[in-house]
Structure 1
Amino acid sequence: MSIVVRDVHAHELDSILELNNAAGPSILPLDAARLRHLHDTAEYFRVAERDGAMVGFLIGFGAGSGHDSSNFRWFESHYPDFFYIDRVVVASRRRGGGVGRAFYADVQSYSEVRHPLLTCEVFLEHDNDPVRLFHGSFGFREVGQHVMPGTDIRASMLVKDLCSYAWVRETYGGTLPDEPWLGRPRVPARNTEETKA
């Protein structure tokens, strides 16, 4: 009955696409090409499993990644360094069972040794009070609102200060120890080709 959060495998993208597009109006739909682009460029792309079945995924990007989301660019125009949660989806039958909290604990653990802020947005057009309450209980606060171009969807822009970042930066500078629990950033496919050249 435990929740396992692990890196995504490319062969799982069809299942992830189906999960994303069944999530309802609080998550923008994707097509296969866009999901492949996210897979190839994301710094953090992990899935959650419970009882051997995939029950959700989370995709994230660090500042300076060049991510093309208007919400990411909004944060980029307001903060010099942050980690951005692009999307998190939990299967409807598993909501309220701790999967979201497992994802947020994992992405925070990853981010806090690399960035001072964890950022995301929540759509305001839909009945998203449970989602806003979840984020508030996890320490996020609203720092502005943004209307996404071409959609007229208003998003509440949320930030969480990562208190460990300053200590890690002071102690280790830009070089983290080589410890398995720290994990390494995914190498996006675009960078893989560059290193072969």
Structure 2
Amino acid sequence: MSITIRDVQEHELDAILAMNNAAGSGILPMNQAQIRYFWQNADYFRVAETDDCLVGFLIAMTRDADYESSNFRWFKDHYGAFVYVDRIVIAKGQRSAGIGRLFYADVQSFAEVRAPALVAEVFMEESTHPALLFHGSFGFHEVGQHQMPDSPLRAAMLYKEMCSYPFVQATYGSQLPAVPWLQGRRRPAADARRATGT
């Protein structure tokens, strides 16, 4: 089975929303406005595709995102620069195919040239213990816990140091080489601002 990880396309948002909302209790549900927000603002929004079918997605934001998630704000209150994994969803029936590992290798490649840390949270329920093990196997460690406001959900806040970042920063600063694999996602919101001159 061949798996492709690539940037999301706008016509795929409805399918991604349905996949998210069918994922179970470990993933917060979304609505149309939220998926549209991610389409316009996420620094990293990629999908996994196999045999022309979407089988997963991962959304991540840098620290300077204008994002209201209480989990995201927890990391902003505690750390400087980072890349925050907001959610990773793998379609049912595809969860033992290694797609999550491919996504994390890809998002780490994105993060390690942009920030000193990759961060995420996992809800502390029995059903999410495999997710905690998964993140631990990638080198994440717990740096705190966060009780979401107006919710019974408590999250384990996870942190992974990006060991390559000091070298990248010392060598290139904020001016990364102009090669395709280092280019960030072309966000529609940014494209619209450029088109209007704002």
- In structure 1, distance between residues paired with 2:79 and 2:52: 39
Deviation at 1:51, TM superposition (A): 2.1
1:68 aligns with 68
Query: Are residue 3 (structure 1) and residue 3 (structure 2) matched?
Result: yes
CA-CA distance at 1:9 after TM superposition: 0.3
Q: What secondary structure is seen at the aligned counterpart in 1 of 2:120?
A: strand
Unaligned runs of at least 5 residues, structure 2: none
Q: CA deviation at 1:38?
A: 1.4
Identity fraction in percent: 53
| Separation in structure 2 between the aligned mates of residue 174 and residue 41 of structure 1, nearest angstrom | 20
Report the equivalent of 2:167: 167
Aligned length: 196
| Aligned 8 A contact 1:26 1:126 in 2 | no
Query: Secondary structure at 1:74's aligned position in 2?
Result: helix
TM-score (norm 2): 0.95
Q: Which amino acid aligns with 2:160?
A: K
Where does residue 20 of structure 1 map in the other structure?
20
Distance 2:160 2:140 in 1: 5
Counterpart residue type for residue 53 of structure 1: C
Report the residue type matching 1:114 in the other structure.
R
Q: For structure 1, which segment, 113-122 or 34-43, has the greater mean C-alpha deviation from structure 2 after superposition?
A: 34-43
1:44 matches 2:73: no
Question: Within 2, Cα distance between the matches of 1:73 and 1:107?
Answer: 20
Deviation larger for 44-53 or 156-165 = 44-53
Query: Which consecutive unaligned segments of at least 5 residues does structure 1 have?
Result: none
Please state how far the C-alpha of 1:126 moved relative to its aligned partner: 3.9
Q: Does the Cα contact within 8 Å between 1:25 and 1:126 map onto a contact in 2? A: no
How far residue 185 of structure 1 moved from its aligned partner, in angstroms, is: 1.9
Give the Cα separation in 1 of the matches to 2:185 and 2:148.
28
Aligned equivalents of 2:130 and 2:112: distance in 1? 25
The AA in structure 1 aligned to 2:14 is D
Q: Aligned-pair RMSD on alpha carbons? A: 1.1
Question: Map of 1:122-137 to 2, 5 A cutoff?
Answer: 122-137=122-137
- Taking the aligned partners of 1:58 and 1:143, their CA distance within structure 2 comes to 22
Residues 1-197 of structure 1 mapped to structure 2, 5 A cutoff: 1-182=1-182, 184-195=183-194, 196-197=196-197
Q: Which amino acid aligns with 2:57?
A: F
